[in-house]
Amino acid sequence: MDSGTIAYRKEYRMKPIKKLICCMLLLSCIAGARGQFRKYSNEFLNIGAGARGLAMGGAQVASVSDGTAGYWNPAGLTHIKDYPVLSLMHAEYFAGIGKYDYFSLAIPLTDKKRSIGLSILRFGVDDIPNTLFLVEPDGTINYNNIRSFSSADYAFLFSYAQTLKKTETKNLSFGVNAKVIYRKVGTFANAWGFGLDAGIQYQTKRWKLGLAARDVTTTFNAWTFSFTEKEKEILYLTKNDIPVKSTEMTAPRLIAGAAYDFRLSKDFSLLTEANLDFTFDGKRNVVVSMDPVSIDPRLGLELGYKQTIFLRTGIYNFQKALADGDTLNQKKVWIYQPSIGVGFKLKHIAIDYAFTNLANQSNPLYTHIFSLRLNLVKKKKEN
């Protein structure tokens, strides 16, 4: 950090909340200017967590208050106060070829102002054919030489959240994630990555505001490769590069959100949330596309009845695409992807369902997602 920035800090004394916001913005902008990033590095971390959030189009950073907050915005973990919360999710893509699993455990500390959490994500594809030795040295094809391998991506999020200020009508909290990533492709390659996330939430009785910064210091993945001499020979003869080591970086992103809780009646409630996803790795096909900053909006709704039954919907992934049937004029129109879902909550158990899309607009891939949320309440001892 240069002397001008240090002098600026000494001259102006800002309130704690302003300091925190400015720090998150500066870290993201500085990291985004350091070097070249891959736009879709660690893309499995952008799928989402929990059927509730996915049904609302991923608009979560302002309102999330359950165990999935470790993924969406770690500051939301401060709303877990009385007992640990266990969250599970499973989804399958490409007709069961790709499997995505999510697990989280959020634990409130004794002072009820701090919480810790662990989140584990895995996206894996199994039984991938390895055709490296399909062709024999004499040119014949031997299908018995085909072997299979798996490719899996893992992420471990260690979360800490704390309440900064709380009154009867207001609540201010922040949270951080330490992120460890492990990726493995058969016996050929594996990578380790490390990064940090941070977030804040400010909530009143009706309004909820949130800001989450992911990969604030950039997330580095260091790849190593281990080919046998025979495999290297095949790669050389087929004119393929033989990688040794490589490093990829995930650029930081900011998600800003605002939500409003409409109390329609004693039994009915309506929560609306809008998020803006800021990326810093160049132009993307989104609503606001600039270099290096692009902005992608998300909108979500949740209608609740007696805090027991919930109907949810969302829209996201706004893109420009060719109008249907207009291949001659090449006219582009704005399109988006919808998502829907329902949820049921009975005492300490909640079951959520979402029907949403993983792929892009040109190749829609909708799938069914189920998640379970369980409050780990201790049984009272009987006299």
Instruction: Check if the beta carbon of residue 70 is closer than 8 Å to that of residue 119.
Output: yes
| Residues 6 or more apart in contact with residue 268 via CB below 8 angstroms | 303, 304, 305
Q: ∠ CA 183-184-189 to the nearest 5 degrees?
A: 115
The pLDDT assigned to 288 comes to: 85
Instruction: Check if the beta carbon of residue 361 is closer than 8 Å to that of residue 337.
Output: yes
pLDDT in tens, 139-169: 788 788 787 788 899 999 999 999 998 888 8
pLDDT in tens, 229-244: 877 777 777 777 777 7
Mean pLDDT, to the nearest integer, of 270-294? 88
The pLDDT assigned to 329 comes to: 61
Q: Which residue has the higher pLDDT, 321 or 207?
A: 207
Instruction: Check if the beta carbon of residue 94 is closer than 8 Å to that of residue 359.
Output: no
Mean pLDDT for the chain overall: 82
Q: Which residue has the higher pLDDT, 59 or 187?
A: 59
Nearest Cα to Cα of residue 313 among 342, 292, 333: 342
- For domain 3-375, give its CATH number from 2.60.40.1180, 2.40.160.40, 3.90.1150.10, 2.10.210.10: 2.40.160.40
Instruction: Check if the beta carbon of residue 227 is closer than 8 Å to that of residue 273.
Output: no
What distance in Å separates the CA atoms of residue 61 and residue 276, rounded to the nearest whole number?
10
As given in the structure block, the two tokens for residue 34 are 């350091």
| Residues 6 or more apart in contact with residue 139 via CB below 8 angstroms | none
Q: Determine what percent of the chain is predicted with pLDDT higher than 90.
A: 43
Q: Which residue has the higher pLDDT, 172 or 126?
A: 172
Per the confidence metrics, is the pTM higher than 0.75?
Answer: yes
What distance in Å separates the CA atoms of residue 159 and residue 93, rounded to the nearest whole number?
28
What distance in Å separates the CA atoms of residue 151 and residue 156, rounded to the nearest whole number?
17
pLDDT in tens, 322-361: 666 555 666 777 788 899 999 999 888 999 999 988 655 4
Q: Over 70: is that where the pLDDT of 12 sits?
A: no
Determine whether 137 is exposed, middle or buried from the number of CB atoms within 10 Å of its CB (0-12, 13-18, 19+).
exposed
Mean pLDDT, to the nearest integer, of 46-72? 93
What distance in Å separates the CA atoms of residue 364 and residue 358, rounded to the nearest whole number?
7
What distance in Å separates the CA atoms of residue 123 and residue 372, rounded to the nearest whole number?
18
Which residue(s) pair with 85 in the sheet?
Answer: 106, 375
Q: Determine what percent of the chain is predicted with pLDDT higher than 70.
A: 84
The pLDDT assigned to 216 comes to: 87
The pLDDT assigned to 364 comes to: 61
What distance in Å separates the CA atoms of residue 247 and residue 73, rounded to the nearest whole number?
27
pLDDT in tens, 91-116: 887 777 888 999 999 999 988 889 99
Q: Supply the DSSP string of 344-374, one letter for each residue.
A: EEETTEEEEEEEEE-S-SSS--EEEEEEEEE
What distance in Å separates the CA atoms of residue 48 and residue 71, rounded to the nearest whole number?
8
- Other C-beta atoms within 10 Å of 250: how many? 26
| Residues 6 or more apart in contact with residue 5 via CB below 8 angstroms | none
- Of the pLDDT bands very low, low, confident and very high (cuts 50, 70, 90), residue 258 is very high
pLDDT in tens, 288-313: 888 888 999 999 999 999 989 999 99
Helix (H, G, I), strand (E, B) or coil at 54: helix
Q: How many CA atoms lie within 13 A of 125 on its CB side?
A: 11
Q: Over 90: is that where the pLDDT of 29 sits?
A: no
Instruction: Check if the beta carbon of residue 180 is closer than 8 Å to that of residue 42.
Output: no
What distance in Å separates the CA atoms of residue 283 and residue 61, rounded to the nearest whole number?
23
- Of the pLDDT bands very low, low, confident and very high (cuts 50, 70, 90), residue 282 is confident
The pLDDT assigned to 217 comes to: 82
| Cis peptide bond N-terminal to 292, omega within 30 | yes
Which residue(s) pair with 64 in the sheet?
Answer: none
